Amino acid sequence: MEMSMMILVILALVYYSFRIIQVIIKLRQRIVLPATRGERNAIRKHPQKITAPPTVEGQKNGLIINAALVLFIIAMFTIVYITEVFSWHQYLFMLLFLAYSYFMLPLNLFAVKHDGILIGMRFIPWKRINTIHVVPIDKSHRYSGFSQEGNQGYVLKIKYTFGHASFVITSEQMLKRLLKLLKEHVKVEKKVETSVSQSK
């Protein structure tokens, strides 16, 4: 039991570390959208939370926090291994801690690149995007009332392999630009849905 848990912790550490390194590499490459502060202001994780700049410097605090958490678990794992105080409870704690950090402390990041999309701690290649769905924010929407910009915006929902994410788009112009980019890259057999009238 202890050996199985230990292997799971090692795999989780490798995966988490890979994600951090991958995001850093992608942040150093050219970003298609958002390219300006104005464009970034129109893309929000929450109506009141504008996404941070899609650069290593802009995501520095989040990257440092995630890297520190990984190093903390590595140090804990090393101490447990060296002292030979093996217990599946300790490894379970490490796994739960890593899972919590990965899913609950993601980067405040959204960026379109030539080969996919950066969302939080994940880079999603175009081929792994399943559906794109746009929902207008009306008076009955849960985001209604948080901000004036959000009240006139849309929620962009992205469903991909093994997960999904959503962002608030406060500008119709930005929404159309995003949809145009997404439709160009997502394969034809992948379904791109929108509730926004093209005549708007």
Q: Which domain holds residue 163?
A: 125-192
Check if the beta carbon of residue 134 is closer than 8 Å to that of residue 175.
yes
Residues 77 and 129 both lie in one domain = no
How many domains does one find in the chain? Answer: 2
Note whether residue 92 is domain-resident: yes
Note whether residue 117 is domain-resident: no
Give residue 68's pLDDT: 92
Check if the beta carbon of residue 30 is closer than 8 Å to that of residue 80.
no
198 falls in which pLDDT band (50, 70, 90)? Answer: very low
Output 87 or 151, whichever has higher pLDDT: 87
Distance of alpha carbon 73 from alpha carbon 58, whole angstroms: 25
pLDDT digits 0-9 by tens, 118-138: 988 889 898 888 888 888 876
Residues 90 and 23 both lie in one domain = yes
Percent of the chain scored above 70 by pLDDT?
Answer: 84
In sequence order, the β-bridge partners of residue 124 are 117
Give residue 144's pLDDT: 64
Residues 90 and 148 both lie in one domain = no
Output 47 or 199, whichever has higher pLDDT: 47
**Strands of the sheet with 110-113, listed across from one edge:** 110-113, 116-119, 122-125
Note whether residue 115 is domain-resident: no
pLDDT digits 0-9 by tens, 33-73: 888 888 888 888 777 778 889 999 999 999 999 999 999 98
